[in-house]
Chains A and B, each alone.
Chain A
C-alpha cells in the first residue's frame, strides 16, 4: 500500500516530466515566434535563458535550500541588462516565467519564511524592472504573463505550505494521541498488577506472623503475579516499539534466510557468520536491527532498482566489537545521467525518472534505518556503488556478542537462494 509520501513523490516526478515538456515546448514556440519578429539572435538568447532557468526549476529538489530559486532568479536578473544592452527583448520569456514561477512557488512552500519572502520580492523586482527597461513601444502582453506567473507562484506556494503545515500538525497530533494512549495503557496495566502484588505482600506478612508454614505459598503467588506484570508490561512496551509495519518482534537467525527466500526480486546471495545461524549469539535489539536493515534494503531494491540482476547481503562477524551489514545490488540506475538527459532532449527518459524516485524513495526508508542504527550507536551509509548499483552499509557496535575472535571472513552458510 503506497503511503501518502510515495504517492506525492510519484505526482512530483510526473509533474517534473510535464514541466520539462512544457518548458521545452514553450521555449521552442517562443523561439520560433521571436525569430519571425526579432530575428535569430533574439530567439537564441531567449532560448538559452529559458533553458537555463528551466534546468534550475527541474533541479529545485536536488539543490539545497533556496539555491535553485536564487540561481534561476540571478540568471533572469543578469539576462535583463544584457538584453537591454544588445537591444533584445528585456522581459523574461514565457519559458523563463514558467521556470521562475515554479522555483519561487517551491521556495515559498519549502523554505524558511525569510527566504520565501526574499525570492518572491526578487521575482517581483525582475518583473517590474524588466518592464521599466523595455522600450515604451513594447506591448504589455509579456509583462502581463509575468505578473500572472508571479501571482500563481505566490498563491500556489502559500497554499501548498499551508497543506504541508496542516499535514505535519495532524501527524504530530496522531503521534501524540498514540503515545498518550500507550502511556495510559502502560500505567493501567502496571498499576493493576502492582496493586495485586502489594495487597498480596501485605497479606504475606500477616501469614508470616500467624501461619509461618504457608509463607512459601504466598511468596510463590507473589512471584507469579510479578512475572505476569512483567510480561504484560513488556507486551505494551513491545507495541510501543514496533508500531506500524513491524517485523516479528524477535527475528530469529533463520529470519534472514526466510526473508531472503520470500524476496520476490532478483536472486540474493546471503552470507552470515556461523554464530548467527546458531542463534542466541547477539542481543535481541541487534538481531532486530540487522533484520530491519536487510528488510528495508531489499524493499528498496524491489521498488527502485528493477534492472538489478543480483543482490548480495553480507553480515560479518563482529571485529573489535563492531558488526557490519552490507546490502548491494547491481541495478543500472544512477543519478549521474540526470542533467545531460534533461538538457539534451528536454524530456526525461524513463531511466532518469526511476533514479529520481530511487534517491528520494530510499531516503525515506533510510531515515528509519538510520534512526534505528544510531539508537544503537552505529552508523549507516547508503549510496551508489562505484561500479554501478546501490549499496547500503551499516556498522553496529556488538557489545557482548560472541565471535569477535573469529576471522572477518564469512561462511557461505545460507548460500545463494534461488
Chain B
C-alpha cells in the first residue's frame, strides 16, 4: 500500500482526490490538510510515502511546505508531488529547487493521478511526463541557472540516460532503448544523481533542459 497525504485548501478538491485515490487498490489516503502548516505537521507525524501538495495554500504555501519536507538539508526527505491548477506556473523552478519530485495538474484525471503517485513512490519515471517535460522546456527559456554543472562529469552512457530521462522515458523504456538491463539503468540513474548532486529524477531532467543537453 502506498500511503498518501493530500494538502489543498479547497475541501472539494481534497475530497475528490481522496475518492479517486482510495478507489485504487494499492493506494491509501492517510491524511488531509487544508493549509501549509497543517500539511507539514501531518506529514511529519504520518510520514506518508507520497505528499500531494497544492501551491496556493493559506498560512504557508506549497513551496515552503515542499522545502520543509524535501528541501536541501532535510534529514529524511519525503516524496512531494506539487499539484497545480495552471499548467504554466511561475513556481515550477522554485518547486524543483525545493526538492519536489514532480508536478501534476489537479484535473489530470484518475488514471494519471494514480500513475503519478506510483511513479513518485517508485522513482523510476517522471511524474506526468508530458506535463513535466513541457514545464521543463518552458523553464529553459525562462530561467538562467546559477551554476551550470559541466557535462564532463558524466560518461557518454550516463549522458544518454540523462537525455532519455529528460524526454520522460521510464527506466524500463530506457533499458529497452539503450539495450541495457533495468538494473544497469538504475545504477546509472543513482550514479548520475550522485555526480550532479541532485535528489530525484525530475531534477536530472531539469538539469538536462537547463544545460541544453536536450532541446
Q: Which residues of A contact B (CB under 8 A)?
A: 191-192, 194-200, 202-203, 206-207, 210, 221, 225
B23 touches A206 (CB 8 A): yes
Please, how many residues of chain B have a CB less than 8 angstroms from a CB on the other chain? 16
A195 touches B85 (CB 8 A): yes
B106 touches A203 (CB 8 A): no
A199 proximity list for chain B (CB < 8 A): 12-13, 16-17, 20, 106-107
Q: Report the nearest B residue to A194, measured CB to CB.
A: B107
State which of B12, B23, B107, B109 has its C-beta within 8 Å of the C-beta of A210. Answer: B23
Q: Report the nearest B residue to A187, measured CB to CB.
A: B86
B23 proximity list for chain A (CB < 8 A): 206, 210
B16 touches A196 (CB 8 A): yes
Nearest CB in chain A: distance from B103 CB, A:
14
State which of A191, A196, A206, A207 has its C-beta within 8 Å of the C-beta of B12. Answer: A196
A206 touches B20 (CB 8 A): yes
State which of A192, A194, A206 has its C-beta within 8 Å of the C-beta of B19. Answer: A206
B64-109 residues with Cβ-Cβ distance < 8 A to A are 85-86, 106-107, 109
B16 touches A202 (CB 8 A): yes
A225 proximity list for chain B (CB < 8 A): 12
A206 touches B110 (CB 8 A): yes
B15 at the interface (CB under 8 A from A): yes
B10 at the interface (CB under 8 A from A): yes
Nearest CB in chain B: distance from A191 CB, A:
5
State which of B10, B16, B85, B86 has its C-beta within 8 Å of the C-beta of A203. Answer: B16
A-B pairs, top 8 by smallest CB distance, nearest first, are: A199-B16, A203-B19, A203-B16, A198-B107, A196-B12, A200-B16, A195-B106, A206-B23
B15 touches A203 (CB 8 A): yes
A196 to B16, CA, bound (A): 8
Scoring B residues 1 to 43 as 1 if CB is less than 8 Å from chain A, else 0, what string do you get?
Answer: 0000000001011011111100100000000000000000000
Q: Report the nearest A residue to B24, measured CB to CB.
A: A206
Q: A195-B13, A199-B16 are in contact. List 14 more A-B contacts (CB 8 A).
A: A195-B106, A196-B16, A198-B107, A199-B17, A200-B16, A203-B16, A203-B17, A203-B20, A206-B20, A206-B110, A207-B19, A210-B23, A221-B12, A225-B12
A197 to B85, CA, bound (A): 12
Q: What are 19 A-B interface contacts by the 8 Å CB criterion?
A: A191-B85, A191-B86, A194-B107, A195-B10, A195-B107, A196-B10, A196-B12, A196-B13, A197-B12, A198-B106, A199-B12, A199-B17, A199-B20, A202-B16, A203-B15, A203-B19, A206-B19, A206-B23, A225-B12
B10 proximity list for chain A (CB < 8 A): 192, 195-196
Q: Report the nearest A residue to B10, measured CB to CB.
A: A196
B16 proximity list for chain A (CB < 8 A): 196, 199-200, 202-203
A207 to B86, CA, bound (A): 26
A191 proximity list for chain B (CB < 8 A): 85-86
Q: Report the nearest B residue to A211, measured CB to CB.
A: B19
A221 proximity list for chain B (CB < 8 A): 12, 15
A225 to B10, CA, bound (A): 11
State which of B12, B85, B86, B109 has its C-beta within 8 Å of the C-beta of A200. Answer: B12
Nearest CB in chain A: distance from B113 CB, A:
8
State which of A192, A194, A195, A202 has its C-beta within 8 Å of the C-beta of B20. Answer: A202
Q: Report the nearest B residue to A207, measured CB to CB.
A: B19
Known contacts A198-B107, A199-B17, A199-B20; A192/B12 CB under 8 A: no
A191 to B85, CA, bound (A): 7
A225 to B23, CA, bound (A): 23
A199 to B105, CA, bound (A): 10
A194 proximity list for chain B (CB < 8 A): 107
Q: Report the nearest A residue to B105, measured CB to CB.
A: A195
B20 proximity list for chain A (CB < 8 A): 199, 202-203, 206
A202 to B21, CA, bound (A): 11
Nearest CB in chain A: distance from B201 CB, A:
26
B107 proximity list for chain A (CB < 8 A): 194-195, 198-199, 202
A198 to B110, CA, bound (A): 11
B17 proximity list for chain A (CB < 8 A): 199, 203
B85 touches A202 (CB 8 A): no
Scoring B residues 159 to 192 as 1 if CB is less than 8 Å from chain A, else 0, what string do you get?
Answer: 0000000000000000000000000000000000
B85 proximity list for chain A (CB < 8 A): 191-192, 195
A196 to B10, CA, bound (A): 7
From B16, B107, B109, name the one whose CB has the most chain A CB atoms within 10 angstroms. B16
Q: Report the nearest A residue to B20, measured CB to CB.
A: A203
A207 proximity list for chain B (CB < 8 A): 19
A197 proximity list for chain B (CB < 8 A): 12
A196 to B85, CA, bound (A): 9
A191 to B10, CA, bound (A): 12
A236 to B74, CA, bound (A): 42
From A196, A207, A210, name the one whose CB has the most chain B CB atoms within 10 angstroms. A196
A191 to B86, CA, bound (A): 8
